Amino acid sequence: MKSKFKYLYPFLLFSVVLLVLIIIEIRHPYFFLQDDNRDYVLPLAVHNYNSLASGELALYNFHQFLGMPQLALGQSGVLYPLNYLCIFLSKIFWGNVYATIDIQVSIYILLGAIGTYYFVKELISQYEIAFFCGFTWALCSFIITVSTSWSTVTSTAAYFPFMIFFTLKAYRTGDKRYIACTVITKLLLFYCGYIQFFIYSVIFEFLFMSLYILEYIYWQKEKNHLKSFVKNYLVSYIFVFIFSLPLLLPMWNQTKLSAGRSSKMSFSDFSSFTYDLFQYIKAILLPIRQFNKEVSWPYLPFLSYIGYIPVLLLLTAFFKYIFINRFKIRSKTYGYISIIVLFIVTFFGSTSITFNKIIYRIPILNRFRWPFKLMFFADFFLIIFVGLVLFKLTKHIKYKSFNTHIFLWILIAIQVLNLTTFYVVSPYRSFAYHTDKIPLTESKTKLLSDGRYISISSHVWSNKGTERTLAFNYASLFGLSNFTGYIDPLISKDNFNAVGRIENYTGIYYPINAVIPVNELRSWGVKWYIISSEDENLFSKPLNDHGIFKRSSEPTRSIYYDKFAYPLSYYIDNKDIKSLNCKNTTNNILLNTNFRASKIITINYLYNKFFQATIDGRNTKLIKNKDNKMDLIIPRGNHKIVIKYNEPFFKLGLFIIIAFLILLLLIRLIKSIIVKVTHKL
C-alpha cells in the first residue's frame, strides 16, 4: 500500500466506530452513565475538577465518610488528566458535567480500536483484517456493556492494545522510541487508578512477549537483538515504577489501612461471579434472549458477544484443519501459539474454580475479586486469534476469481451491521439501571448544606433511581456532607468502623432492628435524615421520640431535621455546645476564634495523622480525642486556625522523581565529560 494511504484505514476505522457510538447515543442518551459511573466515578471526578478550579489538588474529600483521603483511593483519578479534559468538554458543549463519562468512554473505545488495528497489522500486515479486529474489539459486548457501569474498564481497552503493540514493535525494530511509548502508555493506564486491570495488563503483556519471543526463536533460530530488548524492557519498568510513585505510594499506604484490601480476601469473595461454560456459550450465541431493565447483575451471559462472523470463522477453521487437512503449526506469521495460550489462560481464569485456586495463592492477586473480569482479556485474545485465523483462511483460498479485499470488506460490513444492530435494537444492558432523569438535579441542596445528612432504609431503595437517596457519592457531586458514602475498596478501617452498619456498597445506612443510634449520629453532626417513603412508617416514631421531626416530604422520600445535632466545629462552655464558624476548602479547615480564655475546640471530622494544624501560622498539636475526632487547644484572643491535610507519600513520590531526573542528568553530563576527555587524549 502506498505510504500516502497508510492513515486511510485507521481514519476510516475511527470514523466507523465513532458513527456507531453516535447511533448508540441517539438510541440511548447518556448510554454510559449508569451504575457506578453515575453514583461513584462521576461525583469523585467532579470533586477533583472543582478542587482544581479553586486552586487545589484534591488530596482529601470532606464530603463523605466524616472526611476521607481522595488521591490515595486511586480510582478517584486525581492525577489523571483525561478526567479533567472530559469534564471541561462536557461543561462547554452540554452545559453540565453529565456527558463526562460518555465523552471519556467514547475516547477510550476509539483508542482501543486504533490500538488493536496497529497491533494486528504488526502481526500480519493485513489492513482489512486489522480493521476487522479493531472494530470487533471496540464494539464487543464486554467493553460496551461493562463500560455502562465501569468506565475504568474501557481505559484498559484503550491502553492495553497499545502496550503490546509498542512492546512488540520495540522487539522487532530495536527502536527505543517504542520503549518510551510503552512507558507512557503504561503510566496513563496506571494513573487511571484501576490497579487490578493495570496489573493484569502488565502480566499479559509480559506473557505475550515471552511466548512470542520463544516462538520466534524456535522458528527462526536467531535471537534478533534479544539482549538489548530485554535490557530496554527492564529499564522501561524502572521508569514506569519511578514515575508511578506519586500515586503508587499513597495507594499502597491506603491499601495497608483499608478495611477490604489490607490482606487477601476470603476465597469465596475472591472467586464469586465466575463464568461457567454454559454462560459463555450463551453469551456467544444467544446474547439477546434475556433482559429487561429490572434485571441487574450477576447476570453474565451478555458480556462476551463478539458477533457471529468471528464464531463462523472459528468453526470454519476448526472444520478445515481438523477434518480436511492436518493443522500446520508452522507459519511465517508468529503469534498464533502465544495468542492461543493466553486465551486459554484467561478463559480458564474466568471460568474455572480450580484454576482460581492457583491464582489465589499469588500475593496481591488474591486481593482482587470476581474472576469474570478476566473474560475481558479472553475476549481480546480471542478476537486477535480470529484475525489470525481469517488471515490464514484467505491465504488458502485458491479460486482465481476470488478477490481477498472484496471478501474481507463484505465480512467487515456484516460485522459492523451485526454489532450496531445488537446495541441499537436489543434491550439496554447494564449491571444496574437507574431511572433518574439526566441532568440530575437536587432541589434540597441549600437545605442540606447546613450540617451532615444520612440516608436510612431497611433495604436497598435505589434499584430505579439513585439520586433521591443521596447515598453513594452524591454528596461529592452536589457539594454536601454525607455521614457515609460509596464503599470504596480502599476505604480505611477507621472510616468504615466510624460509620458502621453499612451492609452494602451503596452507603445506605441499615439500622439494626430498626433502632437508629441517634446519639452517635447526633455527636457526629448528622442533622438531616433522608428516609425512603416505603420506610417512613418504620422510622418516623423513633425519630420523633428523639426530637427529630419532618422538615420536607416528597413522593419518594422524606427529610427529617435534628436541631440537637452537634456542629461541624464547636467547643463546650459550661456543658453547652457552642458552634464555631468554620470554612472548608478541598484540603483545609479554616477557623477564626476570639476567646476570653483558653478553650479546647473540636473539629467534627475523623482524625487522620496526615492533618497538620497551625495557629496564626505556627504549628500546633492536633489531638485525637476519645471519639476519634480532632481537638485543638486554642489560647485566648484573636486567632486564625488552619487545619491542612497533607499527603506525604505523594510528596515523597514527587521528590523521588526529581531526584531520579537529576541523577539521569548527572550521569549524562559525566558521560559527555568522559567522552570529551577521551577524545582529547
Rounded mean pLDDT, 62-74: 95
Q: Give the pLDDT confidence score for residue 292 in this predicted structure.
A: 46
3-state secondary structure of 358: helix
Q: Give the pLDDT confidence score for residue 157 in this predicted structure.
A: 97
Q: Give the pLDDT confidence score for residue 502 in this predicted structure.
A: 66
Distance from C-alpha of 44 to C-alpha of 36, rounded to nearest angstrom: 11
Mean pLDDT estimate for the chain: 89
Residue type, 501: R
Q: Give the pLDDT confidence score for residue 488 in this predicted structure.
A: 87
> Higher pLDDT residue, 68 or 503?
68
pLDDT at 291 over 50: no
Q: What does the pLDDT look like over 297-356, one tens digit per residue?
A: 445 556 788 999 999 998 888 777 655 555 454 445 678 889 999 999 999 998 889 889
> Higher pLDDT residue, 434 or 628?
628
pLDDT at 429 over 80: no
Q: Lowest mean pLDDT: which of 370-374, 479-483, 621-625?
A: 370-374
Q: What does the pLDDT look like over 544-578, one tens digit per residue?
A: 999 999 999 988 889 999 999 999 999 988 888 89
> Higher pLDDT residue, 674 or 566?
566
Residues contacting 233, CB < 8 A, separation 6+: 167, 170, 179, 209
Rounded mean pLDDT, 2-23: 87
Q: What does the pLDDT look like over 487-528, one tens digit per residue?
A: 888 999 999 989 876 656 788 887 766 688 999 999 999 999
Residues contacting 113, CB < 8 A, separation 6+: 13, 14, 17, 134, 135, 137, 138
Q: Give the pLDDT confidence score for residue 301 in this predicted structure.
A: 57
Q: What does the pLDDT look like over 16-61, one tens digit per residue?
A: 999 999 999 999 999 999 989 999 999 999 999 999 999 999 999 9
Q: Could you tell me what percent of the chain has a pLDDT over 90?
A: 64
User: How many CB atoms lie under 10 A from the CB of residue 307?
Assistant: 25
User: Packing angle between helix 151-173 and helix 375-396, nearest 10 degrees?
Assistant: 50
Distance from C-alpha of 359 to C-alpha of 505, rounded to nearest angstrom: 25
Q: Lowest mean pLDDT: which of 279-293, 354-368, 457-471?
A: 279-293
pLDDT at 609 over 90: yes
Q: Which residues of 639-657 are buried (b: 16+ CB within 10 A; e: fewer)?
A: bebebbbebebbeebeebe
